[in-house]
Amino acid sequence: MPRIAGVDLPPNKRIEFSLRYIYGIGPTNALDVLKEAQIEPGAKAKDLTEEEVARIGAVIDRNYQVEGQLRRTIQSNVARLKDIKCYRGLRHRAHLPVRGQRTRTNARTRKGPRKTVAGKKGVKELTRG
């Protein structure tokens, strides 16, 4: 089982798909890494030699920000937005959609499960008789 950037890659998948298990490496970046490391994308992860795994690791270390370092960068960027109290920072702080999506409906991922609010009860008319 190859280990790159602190992540155990699944051995029975093609290496172009296995690399996507690394946070910060998507489909395009995975193919770019393999091209630069001169490795066939169709090869299975378990069939790679130690030297090929080392080449992939070197390319990723040299050219990409991945895993913990990327997470810290994103976290600090969001914290900066909150600190300067810009609109996006306020949306992050309120756990609402940040990129202009509507919130009247379809914001359940950000807002969480519905919190039902009791409706207005009709006023009963008093009858005197």
pLDDT in tens, 23-61: 999 999 999 999 999 999 999 999 999 999 999 999 999
pTM of the model: 0.78
Task: Judge whether residue 123 has pLDDT over 80.
Answer: no
Burial 78-102, CB ≥16 within 10 A → b, else e: eeebeeeeeeebebbeeeeebeeee
Q: Please, what is the average pLDDT of the chain? A: 92
If phi > 0 it is left, if psi is from -120 to 50 it is alpha, else beta; for residue 71 that is alpha
Find all residues with CB under 8 Å of 67, minimum gap 6, and list them.
5, 6, 7, 22, 23, 24
Q: Answer for the pair 34, 19: CB distance below 8 angstroms, yes or no.
A: yes
| Average pLDDT score over residue span 109-118 | 90
Task: Judge whether residue 74 has pLDDT over 90.
Answer: yes
Task: Judge whether residue 124 has pLDDT over 80.
Answer: no
Q: What is the pLDDT of residue 118?
A: 85
| Average pLDDT score over residue span 87-116 | 93
Give the number of other CB atoms < 10 A from CB of residue 111. Answer: 14
d(CA 46, CA 2): 7
Return the DSSP state at 99: S
Percentage of the chain beyond pLDDT 90 is 84
| Average pLDDT score over residue span 63-77 | 95
Return the DSSP state at 67: H
